[in-house]
Amino acid sequence: MANSFTSRYRIKHLVYYEACNDAVAAISREKQIKGWTRDKKIALIESVNAKWLDLSVS
């Protein structure tokens, strides 16, 4: 059985997500964010989830 992304990287908390209208928009946004620096990604997370709460349990 192939390992999932979350188990391979030991991801345990959802701290940020965005909703998109379609798959093309979602892929485009994902590529945009992947090109950012770590500091810019952290700033994006903290702009909507300053306490880094697990959003998967909300």
Reply yes or no on whether the pLDDT at 1 is more than 60. no
CA atoms within 13 A on the CB side of 58: 11
What global pTM score does this model have?
A: 0.80
What is the token pair recorded at 28?
């485009």
Tens of pLDDT along 9-32?
Answer: 888 899 999 999 999 999 999 999
- Sorted by where each begins, the domain ranges of the chain are 13-57
State the Cα angle at 7 between 5 and 32, rounded to 5°.
30
Distance CA 41, CA 35 (A): 10
- The confidence score (pLDDT) of residue 38 equals 97
Mean pLDDT estimate for the chain: 92
Distance CA 41, CA 16 (A): 10
